[in-house]
Structure 1
């Protein structure tokens, strides 16, 4: 009866969702949308919806898809549908219990409650999830669960029990050898301490995090950058702007290592702000200019506005009020007051301050609607600016009113700070008691880890002895046989490669060498009427031979796996713009017209060897120049298809026959041998392109172009 109810409920849910035309293949779905890593949640959700509409899923598969689609709905902020989907998952799990999936069900329930600010419900579900993950010894999810319990506890009220859960999150992340999770636990710990007003402990946590990261075999630059940024942020709260400047500068260096333009730009803004606080206006202006250039490059409007407004603050400090108002006004126009309200208000106050010296009416008009009697630095400064603006208007009564507001708010802020310090001292005493509990917990975890390690060592030793006993005889007999087979394989491969290389070289060198020999003999016997032309012809043939030998050598390197790539992560759009710029002169000087269409997003990344990509594009461009009628056309289109980059390289007539098309990537193959040699082609360009593409984990395919010539399609994986 339960099974029938669950299936009926799930079927009714499926009817609620819009139909999609995606493939309902569970294996493909599970592989295409793994739980970890970046993904397109909406595409993943649509694939899952299509699967749920199928009746061929096993109970385990349906559990998997119900959980995954519920998670994606939460990530897409579609909370009502997520609630319904979780109800369906709960009903299904009642009929088909699974401890691991029950843990994940409670985790998603907790995540939904946390996003809806229901901290108590979130704690309940995360703790329930941790019970199931403990049973299944899923250390990764157990670390996640305890970290989220800490977040929920801290969000609900300043409860120091959150620190216990952070300790457990670190412990289970270490058991799973999961560096990102361990780092995330450190981030949460520092944030919670800062939330509780414990800046000393937050600073200590960040310093411990930094020490821990540097001990890793290969410290992650992005993690180091984020840690230095958090460290600098704490120094800002302390008022130590020189230490904050050093921290933001370190963060910027690590962002530059991975070419993260977004965070490079944001770090430059924070660096500039510290220079402002230190009254180094020239350094501040340069840093704001760098931030402006970086954010213009990636078209990040909020940070661009922040940087431009920062330039205005520099001018304000120099008392250049018209220029200050101009810059800050430009910056404000780029900052959304709804999504970045605090940043908008801060800069609005600076804008009004600049205007108050030259146009007090406009300053009052701009700032008054946003003024509220709240004891914050921004509103205190706003009251002072409004007081000055009214004073400039000779409206002393209004000026006195706002000056009184500023004084009252400052007193209120001072009192709040005093109460906060008292609360922090009280919480510090509580935290000392909590630290004792955490130390006891850590001692217990260390003892548990030691015992677990000892048990693992004993068990591993026993297994090794048994395996040695049973496998020694077998390995003894197989050892020589494997060595001989390996040597034979290597030898056969070497012989095959050698024969192929010799055949290729002898085939291609015969004709140009014959031409050289005949010309040399003719010169010796004075049979040439124009020696200069003959020398030019011989020089051309020698250049062709040099190109041919270099191409054959490069292919030989690829065949023997000795061709190494210098792989780097780069913005795909920027890279392919460079590639297109590189081939444009080559194509246009040969009486061909180049049209390009780069549809990649600025956020798309690709891991590749830039020099080899230039080599691929140059080879394709030369191929089009050699074999297209003049005048002609070359068209290059680059776009993203799911997680792949697809580049179409088309040229105009003449094309190739259906018989020749599949053989164009064969080494030294030419449709018209004599014409190809006259044009300078080695017959290896497409072969090299194919090899280099395969080394980038991509594919190269050939087809007929709509322009009448050849279409070469490159498919490369994007870094998702």
Structure 2
């Protein structure tokens, strides 16, 4: 703890020293420029450049004074014909309005700045105003137009051979493509920026781009590659000179480890990021970190951490202005209240969340909010209201998506209008040139025709692209709807089949008894009893799944010795395997002091289902290996068997209800097709997980883990 405090103090102290040196240097430059203003006469054109440098120097530290110098400079510009210098001055003045969020004022100035820059042919002035245009579009969420401006800016920086700003342009393009969900384009942009940043002395830009690439892999669920990128980025960052980049890296790693269920190391990274956010008074970042800690607390059943994190986030809310954070807090309030069983408070929070119409939350998954709302309403006996709430919210979401598509289409249309305007200007210039020089008439006419043809071709191509994107989106929605309908039909068809076949046999055997034509009535009665038992099992399975769907599945927990419990289950497996002519290897790596508080009957039900599946679907002679152990406060067991194996795509599907890998063989061997689905629900009720993968014995390996610190 002392080392942490010393580190924080050194970080703050080094920051103060660096800021003091920078401030002295800036004041010295400002004094020299102000002396030049006093010395130069208004008739001296070099005075224009001094005003530009002054605005550029102090626009962040003293924006009001910078605006005054800017006004004086603009007034002086009208006495001189220096469009390039005028454009640069407007460009730096525009940055002040962009930083203040006055986007309408900035838009007018950008238009004037670009006009002067194009008129003068000054590439540097053009780059300043083009960057302002791209930034304004980005700040106003006009991302399609922002991409177009950054692409134009890319060409300008290439002409200037300005690799530092070119790298920044590629990085900004990557951020926009990532926000639009175009991960391939985002990766290409980041990969262009990376080698350019590696040439710079400031390694933090290179590190941030490395971590941006890691963010793409994180969203693609490639956690291993994401972790490598995050760690490489953090290695390049000096926590003292770039504490905010260091903070962001820690936060990203924490989210990654949370997704991997590596809870201890995830918490360490979140708490380190919180320390840095507190030092630099980053309220928004602190709140988002408390959100992540609430998720972590839910995974580890740490009620104290969950409650304290929510309280800390709520205390910071009065300092917050971001509407997304102000709305997201209601989700976490509902989440924590439902976790604590306070359903009334949970309902109030979830209702506020959906009334605020947050369609693309950054800090939680919208589907999780729908599920939470349904769970809360169902607990309060308001299932119909829950369905109405979710349907209404989903309709709002669809409308929001349509509005977004319309906004993007309007941005494409604006690009087309800009191209047409530029075309009209080009035609006017061509006409003026024709009047001055008739000899070039034929050549210029051909150029205009070619330009028009290319322009129309590009417009048609873009229209086709927009239409294709919209058609693809509609087709995808239609496919999803058809898939849901198909799964529903298949579910009822399978249930029907499960009941129809045994009922038919039941009816035939009853008729044999009724008409006294049965060869052996005792055998028939025995078969009928077996069929009735089969019906009871199927009904019990469906009833258990229905209880779980309604959130009414309850566990009867008791504390018992694990070693004795699993030795008895292993004995049952031995008996079952002998009936199927299979050999069994038992690996019970437990000690007498290993105890757990679980629902023993439900755990036995899971083991019975898994043992039964392993014995029924393993070719005889064959092998079964049953292993159980406790590791890091988790109960782990696995059951693996010899051939046959499954197809690669079947390992995830076997936990679906009524799914059978081989339908004909499954029905021949018996079973309802619900056993593994029930196993999954019972293990999830214990806050555990179950999965299937290929076995080293040539068959299937099913693994289960259950946390013991609940």
After TM superposition, the score normalised by the length of structure 1 is 0.44
TM-score of the two chains, using structure 2 as the length reference: 0.45
